[in-house]
Amino acid sequence: MAKELSDAQCLIVADADVLIRNALAEYLRHCGYKVFEAATSDEVIIALDEGAAKIDAVLADAELTGRHNAFELRIWVRDHYPDVQVVLAGNIDSAAKAAGQMCDDGPHLRRPYDPERVAAHIKRLLAATRR
């Protein structure tokens, strides 16, 4: 049975690979999160701008495509929605070069995802922002 979160924390899982995105989203739902899915950075921006739910965090593949790559998306989210945490995940080798050019942080999680590690990381991140 899924653990219920007291204040319905909402996440966006953004990954072009539908199998990875669906599996991770389902696991996070089982952990009690409300999860929206996005295949591109454009879909993330639409979800944030539509405001159907207060999004607490975005988990984005470091190789996300769309109008913005994942690192540009992180900067965009910081500028437009500073309360939303952005977790980048991906292959460290392929993402490190782009991260160095785009922002001060590289990917936080490594693919292939360990769903328990992802859930624990998001839980710690959201708990730290409430302090």
DSSP result, 27-78: HHHHTT-EEEEESSHHHHHHHHHH-SS---EEEEETT--SSS-HHHHHHHHH
- The single residue listed with the structure tokens 């540009």 is 72
| Domain at 10-130, CATH class | alpha beta
Q: Quick: pLDDT tens for 42-73.
A: 999 999 999 878 999 999 998 899 999 999 99
N- to C-terminal Cα separation, the chain: 28
**pTM for the full predicted model:** 0.68
Q: For residues 131 and 126, what is the distance between their CA atoms, to the nearest angstrom? A: 9
Q: For residues 13 and 20, what is the distance between their CA atoms, to the nearest angstrom? A: 10
